[in-house]
């Protein structure tokens, strides 16, 4: 396990079980501490109880969207980084996400190396 990853807490919010499990397993394999939830509402509730270094959230979910999760993150802890993922990319949602404080916006399907690299670069920024 990479020492850098130790004690890095990541929250994965995605209503698609396959994507949620894929991201969680991949991040745990990289040595991160990961919690995963199936809805924006669960993610927002967890954010009120725990601090995370990074949140990876799907954009489109029933009920609370990834934008709602992003807003909640920035209200709770402005130092928490947020990466948006979506299968429904548009310029409008990308711009809105970035204006609200997301550090990146990734469209599905994505390569495992792509998401690993985005997370690594984001967390390296956090160290500085």
Annotate 68-88 with b (16+ C-beta within 10 A) or e (fewer). Answer: bbbbbbeebeeebbbbbbbee
Structure tokens at 78: 């402005």
Distance CA 54, CA 108 (A): 19
Pairing mode, strands 54-58 and 104-107? unpaired
Q: What is the pLDDT of residues 4-58, one digit of tens each?
A: 566 899 999 999 999 999 999 999 999 999 999 999 999 999 999 999 999 999 9
Q: How confident is the model at residue 2 (pLDDT cuts 50, 70, 90)?
A: very low
**Would you state the pLDDT for residue 128?**
65
Pairing mode, strands 54-58 and 33-37? unpaired
Number of domains in the chain: 1
Quote the domain boundaries for residue 11.
3-127
Q: What is the pLDDT of residues 59-91, one digit of tens each?
A: 999 999 999 999 999 998 888 999 999 988 888
Among the listed residues 67, 21, 18, 22, the one whose alpha carbon sits nearest the alpha carbon of residue 40: 67
Q: Is the pTM of this model over 0.85?
A: yes
CATH number of the domain encompassing residue 96: 3.40.50.2300
């Amino acid at each position: 396990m990479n020492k850098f990853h130790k004690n890095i807490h990541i929250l994965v919010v995605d209503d698609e079980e396959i994507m949620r499990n894929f991201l969680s397993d991949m991040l745990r394999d990289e040595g991160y501490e990961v919690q995963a939830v199936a809805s924006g509402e669960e993610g927002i509730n967890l954010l009120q109880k725990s601090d995370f270094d990074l949140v990876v959230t799907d954009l489109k979910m029933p009920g609370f969207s990834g934008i709602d999760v992003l807003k909640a993150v920035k209200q709770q802890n402005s130092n928490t980084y947020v990466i948006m993922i979506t299968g429904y990319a548009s310029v409008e949602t990308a711009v809105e996400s970035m204006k609200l404080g997301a550090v990146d916006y990734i469209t599905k399907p994505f390569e495992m190396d792509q998401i690993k690299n985005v997370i690594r670069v984001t967390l390296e920024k956090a160290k500085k």
